[in-house]
């Protein structure tokens, strides 16, 4: 099988690696998009008649869904009806020449299709199967649906985010993103293991385990401290002062004090009350957390007399970490992105105008990541089937019978 039809500038680390993915929504597509960024050929197998349901989450990006545009650039889209024998046969022809197989189908669906990790490894010893599940593939929770917000609830994250009066969902799909990141790194690790030992370990990641890892600090705090960290809005639950304060112009400025030197500098150079460093209510980090309300009132009164720019300049001079609380629009125009050339153009289906996409965050010297178009559903079906030896008449028959397209 040809490795890729793309011609990225320069050598990419995963050129020559072929990934076949039965993916939908966020977690698995995030993992495979990052493999595509590094040069892997990613063949995204989608349902005929619409493809990945994430294509229809919204229509905000020139008619395309914001999630889908983010997660699916540089991939090839093949539509296959896996309820048909020929569809499954074609999938196996792809797997015979692939390096990695990724799936995040509904619980049990891969096994019913004969695509479980054990069966695949017995049939294709060099193939790396990667399963992304909700709660793992064993235990009483294995068959439960696991959307992002459900996993935020089950791991306790929702009990930590928000205000004392109201729990609040994290503003991004943090469980899905965590699962996608661990799938990506697990696949890279397995590729390395295969290259160095010849063994191709299967990879399994659950969203619950991935977000559970990220919950480890509050888990330790709760298990050994006796109570869980409180919900304190945008403030840090276990460090003070660490949170936003409103300046006189209405702009919120977040500041963070991490040690006693910074606390003294805040009192002397920003608040203008050096005697607070001797106040027993604020003597240590734990004391400041215990008396957070009193401390916040003092800082808030000072900020009410300062413009946001003036407040940030004072904090900078005192060498105290701070940041304006940006909107998404302000983030999009951030100088740390603009001055470092972090934006690229990516084409999307059905639009003459490209979209702006962020360069992947891991910068590898001498490597320009691939930033190729987002595919239309089934866009590469005929070419991929042709690579597998299907002639035009056979491809036309398959499409007419609904096996593809």
Q: What is the pLDDT of residues 275-294, one digit of tens each?
A: 999 999 999 989 999 999 99
Higher pLDDT, 4 or 336: 336
Phi (first) and psi of residue 46, to 5 degrees: -120, 160
DSSP code of residue 377:
T
Q: How confident is the model at residue 360 (pLDDT cuts 50, 70, 90)?
A: very high
Helix, strand, coil percentages for the chain (3-state, nearest 5): 40, 15, 45
Q: What integer pLDDT is reported at residue 23 of this predicted model?
A: 95
With CA atoms as reference, report the closest residue to 177 among 213, 143, 202, 201.
213
Q: What integer pLDDT is reported at residue 203 of this predicted model?
A: 97
With CA atoms as reference, report the closest residue to 238 among 211, 214, 218.
218
Fold (CATH) for 242-324: formyl-coa transferase, domain 3 (3.30.1540)
CATH 3.30.1540.10 residue ranges of the chain are 242-324
CATH 3.40.50.10540 residue ranges of the chain are 18-215+344-400
Query: Cβ–Cβ contacts within 10 Å for residue 318, how many?
Result: 19
Cβ neighbours of residue 268 under 8 Å, at least 6 residues apart?
Answer: 274, 277, 318
Q: Identify whether 62 is a catalytic site residue.
A: no
Catalytic residue of the set 5, 236, 291, 380:
236
- Rounded to the nearest integer, the mean pLDDT of the chain is 92
Q: What integer pLDDT is reported at residue 269 of this predicted model?
A: 94
Instruction: Note the CATH number of domain 18-215+344-400.
Output: 3.40.50.10540
The rounded distance, in Å, linking the Cα atoms of 347 and 69 is: 9
- Please say if the pLDDT value at position 117 is more than 60: yes
Q: How does pLDDT run across 192-215, given as a tens digit for each residue?
A: 999 999 999 999 999 999 999 999
Its pTM surpasses 0.85: yes
């Amino acid at each position: 099988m040809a490795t890729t039809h793309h011609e990225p500038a320069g050598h990419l680390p995963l050129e020559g690696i072929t990934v076949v993915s039965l993916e939908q929504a966020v977690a698995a597509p995030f993992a495979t998009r990052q493999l595509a960024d590094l040069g892997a050929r990613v063949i995204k197998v989608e349902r005929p008649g619409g493809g990945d349901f994430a294509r229809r989450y919204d229509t905000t990006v020139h008619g395309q869904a914001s999630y889908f545009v983010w997660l699916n650039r540089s991939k090839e889209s093949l539509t296959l009806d896996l309820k048909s024998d020929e569809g499954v046969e074609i999938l196996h022809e792809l797997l015979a020449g692939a390096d990695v197989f990724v799936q995040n189908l509904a619980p049990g669906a891969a096994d019913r299709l004969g695509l479980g990790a054990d069966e695949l490894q017995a049939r294709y010893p060099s193939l790396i199967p990667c399963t992304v599940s909700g709660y793992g593939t064993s235990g009483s929770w294995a068959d439960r649906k696991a959307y992002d917000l459900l996993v935020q609830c089950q791991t306790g994250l929702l009990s930590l985010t928000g205000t004392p009066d109201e729990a609040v969902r994290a503003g991004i799909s943090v469980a899905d993103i965590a699962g996608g990141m661990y799938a990506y790194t697990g696949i890279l690790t397995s590729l390395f293991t295969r290259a160095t030992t010849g063994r191709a370990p299967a990879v399994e990641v659950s969203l619950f385990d991935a977000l559970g890892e990220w919950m480890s600090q509050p888990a330790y705090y709760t298990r050994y401290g006796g109570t869980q960290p409180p919900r304190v809005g945008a403030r840090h639950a276990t460090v003070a002062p660490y949170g936003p304060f409103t300046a006189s112009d209405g702009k919120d400025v977040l500041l963070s004090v991490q040690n006693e030197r910074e606390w003294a500098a805040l009192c002397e150079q920003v608040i203008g009350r050096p005697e607070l460093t001797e106040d027993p209510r604020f003597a240590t980090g734990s004391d400041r957390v215990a008396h957070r309300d009193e401390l916040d009132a003092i800082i808030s009164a000072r900020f009410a007399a300062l413009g946001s720019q003036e407040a940030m300049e004072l904090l900078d001079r005192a060498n105290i970490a701070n940041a304006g609380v940006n909107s998404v629009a302000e983030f999009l125009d951030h100088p740390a992105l603009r001055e470092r050339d972090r934006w690229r153009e990516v084409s999307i289906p059905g639009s003459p105008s490209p979209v702006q996409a962020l360069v992947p965050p891991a910068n590898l010297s001498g490597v320009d990541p691939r930033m190729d178009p987002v595919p239309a559903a089934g866009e590469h079906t005929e070419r991929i089937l042709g690579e597998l030896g299907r002639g035009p008449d056979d491809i036309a028959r398959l499409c007419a019978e609904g096996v593809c397209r």
